[in-house]
Structure 1
Amino acid sequence: MRRRTVTAGNLEEILQATAPATPQDQPGPAAARAPRGNPGQHTEFEFELPRGYVDEDGTVHRHGAMRLATARDELRPQIDLRVKENPAYLSVVLLSQVITRLGTVGDVHAGVVERMYATDVAFLQDFYRRVNSEGHTRAAVTCPHCDGGFEVDLSGGRLGES
C-alpha cells in the first residue's frame, strides 16, 4: 500500500477514502496495510516526532508511520504481564504494536518506546487517539497573539511551513 502524509491539501480525499475497518483474520501490521475488499483504504499515517528517538548509536529518528489499530491490538496489552503489573505500561505496549516504521529502526518494540522522550510518547498517544477515534490528524489551535483560530496537521512538517 502506498503511504501518504496527511496534509491540509489532501485531508478531505484521505478522509473520504478511509472507511471503518472490516474484521481481519490476519493479525499484525500486514492485515492493516492490505485490508480485504478495499485496497485503496488509507490505514497508515506518517508522523514526525517533536524531539526524535535516539538509538544506541546516537542516530536521531524523527519520521515514522503508524497504522490504524485493530481490536486485537487493543486487547493484547490487557493480557501482557507488564501491563498487569503497571497499567501505565499499556500505552507503551499499544504504541509498539501500531508503529510500523521509525526512521531506520528495524523493529519498533516496547523497549524502543520506553527509551523515547516523554514529549514524543505524549505526541504519539495523541496521534493514536486522533487517527483511531477521530479519523484525522488535525488539531484546532488559537494564536496567542491575535486570538485567531486555525487548524494544524499533527502528522509532520515544521512550524511555519505551508
Structure 2
Amino acid sequence: MELDFSTEYEFDLPKGYVDSAGVLHKHGVMRLATAADEILPLRDPRVVQNPGYLTIILLSRVITSLGTVPKIDPRVVEKFYSSDLAFLQDMYQKINAIEPVMDQCVCPECGHKFEQPVNFTSAE
C-alpha cells in the first residue's frame, strides 16, 4: 500500500544557519513528528527545568537535514536566529496539524452538496 500523503517537507530558512566555519545553510527538510518525538523530550532535564526548551529538542528531532550540516542536534537549533526558529515552529504546527474530518452533506431544501467539518465536541 502506497502512502497518499507526504511525510517530509522541504523548507528554506528566512535568514539561515551559520555554522562554525561561517557557511550559511538555508535549505532543509522536516519530517512529520511521531508520538515519541512529542513525548520523549518531556523527560529531558533541560525541558523539565525550562519548558521553553521543548521547541529546541522537538525541532532537533524532526529536522532531518539542513544544507551540509552533518547532524541536527539541540546545539545547532539553539543557534538559529529567532526569525528562523519562529518560521520552523510555524511549519511544525502546520505539517503536524490534525486535519478535520469532513462530512458529506446535502441541503434538504435545494439539494446542494457540500462538505462540513464534523464537530466531535458538540451534540448539535
Quickly name the TM-score band, shorter chain normalised: 0.7 to 0.9
Distance in 2, matches of 1:134 and 1:61, equals: 30
Report the TM-score when normalising by structure 2. 0.76
Higher strand share: 2
| RMSD (Å), alpha carbons | 1.3
Find the residue that maps to 2:97 and give its secondary structure.
helix
* Residue 49 (structure 1) aligned to one of 8, 13, 16: 13
**How many corresponding residue pairs?**
99
Residue identity over aligned pairs, in percent, reads 53
* Residue 26 (structure 2) aligned to one of 62, 81, 100: 62
Matched, 1:103 2:77: no
Matches within 5 A, 1:141-160: none
Matched, 1:90 2:35: no
Find the residue that maps to 1:119 and give its secondary structure.
helix
Give unpaired runs (5+ residues) of structure 1: 1-36, 136-162
Distance in 2, matches of 1:126 and 1:71, equals: 19
Deviation at 1:42?
1.4
Give unpaired runs (5+ residues) of structure 2: 100-124
Matches within 5 A, 1:1-162: 37-39=1-3, 41-133=5-97
